[in-house]
């Protein structure tokens, strides 16, 4: 009798577990049943699931400038080289922006570790940080850019080209289709996912000055409705506003690429429109 009761108890537990799993799965949206159109304003957009299946696409093969989304490739090339992340790097005049003439809080003489430069380039889109990473790569900047393009080819990014590590040049181009491949690859690097989802970071690049505080350029990270695993923004005039992300919507992992959005808030508006559309099932 004791054995029979124990067996019944085990079978009941298994049945309840199966029922719970089935109920949980039933509450999750099936994005294959989506209806209508999310009404996005971005010129190109692509949403894919964890297996690479397209949930939504708009002009996904158009070649466009990608601005600072470039910095995801920069970070991957640095990390692939297995360089010393604790090595201190000094910002020099060679790192200044001669293309857009943008400023920087990292003045000449500022010293940070390679790890800190990667983090600032990703979370705060610090141009001099990205440039310094390329300049101090073995062989110099030219070799670094060559490695960026080799990495793109290896990832199957056939319609992409990289011209500088910061994304300042118009010649940094890609497509929504290609960027989904880059985002997927970048998501396998813990330092990249950690840096791109960090809200704030304090660094001390000067010995006789106080710390500098940097914030993340993606405002959706502050939104409790979003569960974001990786993100990168970008902007130059020729590229418009760009945003790429890995996130969970309805409990399912998705990749989002939004390119050439007009208006500072448009990528965030489009992201929220996508999320609302995907959950309205």
Residues 41-99 have pLDDT tens digits of 999 999 999 999 999 999 999 999 999 999 999 999 999 999 999 999 999 999 999 99
Catalytic residue among 58, 71, 151, 232: 71
Which of 204, 200, 271 lies closest to 233 in space, CA to CA?
271
* CB contact at 8 A, 254 and 57: no
The answer to whether 3 and 226 have CB atoms below 8 angstroms apart is: no
Confidence at residue 131, expressed as pLDDT on a 0 to 100 scale: 98
Residue at token pair 């971005």: 42
Q: Where are the alpha helices (DSSP H) in the chain?
A: 2-27, 71-80, 114-123, 127-135, 141-154, 176-186, 190-196, 266-279
Residue 81 structure tokens: 């080289």
Please tell me the predicted confidence (pLDDT) of residue 263: 86
Q: Which is the catalytic residue, given 68, 124, 231, 271?
A: 68
Domain ranges of the chain: 32-279
Phi, psi for 113 (deg, rounded to 5): -75, 160
44 given a catalytic annotation: no
Q: What residues form DSSP beta bridges with 227?
A: 248
Mean pLDDT score, 131-143? 98
Q: Which pLDDT does position 34 carry in this prediction?
A: 77
pTM (2 d.p.): 0.89
The CATH H-level (homologous superfamily) assignment of domain 32-279 is: DD-peptidase/beta-lactamase superfamily (3.40.710.10)
Q: Which two tokens stand for residue 26?
A: 């039933």
Concerning whether 261 is annotated as a catalytic residue, the answer is: no
Q: What are the pLDDT digits (tens) for 246-277?
A: 999 999 999 999 999 988 999 999 999 999 99
> Quick check: is 255 catalytic?
no
Residue tagged active-site, from 44, 65, 124, 125: 125
> Please, are residues 250 and 262 in contact by the beta-carbon 8 Å criterion?
no
Do the Cβ atoms of 110 and 98 come closer than 8 Å?
A: no
């Amino acid at each position: 009798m004791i054995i029979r009761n124990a067996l019944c108890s085990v079978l009941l537990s298994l049945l309840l577990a199966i029922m719970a799993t089935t109920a949980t799965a039933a509450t999750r949206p099936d994005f294959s049943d989506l209806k209508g159109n999310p009404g996005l304003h971005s010129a190109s957009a692509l949403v894919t699931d964890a297996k690479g299946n397209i949930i939504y696409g708009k002009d996904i093969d158009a070649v466009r400038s990608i601005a600072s989304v470039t910095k995801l490739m920069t970070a991957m090339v640095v990390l692939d080289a297995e360089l010393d992340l604790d090595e201190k790097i000094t910002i020099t005049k060679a790192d200044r922006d001669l293309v857009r003439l943008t400023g920087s809080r990292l003045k000449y003489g500022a010293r940070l570790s390679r790890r800190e430069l990667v983090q600032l380039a990703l979370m705060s889109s610090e141009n001099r940080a990205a440039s310094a990473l390329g300049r101090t790569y073995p062989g110099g900047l030219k070799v670094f850019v060559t490695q960026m393009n080799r990495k793109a080819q290896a990832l199957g990014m056939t319609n992409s080209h990289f011209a500088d590590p910061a994304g300042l040049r118009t010649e940094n181009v890609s497509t929504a289709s290609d960027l989904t491949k880059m985002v997927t690859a970048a998501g396998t690097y813990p330092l990249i996912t950690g840096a791109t989802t960090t809200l704030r970071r304090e660094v001390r690049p000067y010995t006789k000055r106080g710390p500098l505080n940097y914030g993340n350029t993606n405002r959706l990270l502050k939104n409790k409705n979003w569960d974001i695993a990786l993100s990168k923004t970008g902007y130059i005039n020729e590229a418009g506003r760009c945003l790429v992300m890995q996130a969970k919507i309805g409990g399912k992992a998705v990749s989002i690429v939004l390119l050439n959005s007009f208006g500072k808030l448009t990528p965030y508006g489009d992201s929220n429109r996508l999320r609302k559309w995907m959950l309205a099932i």
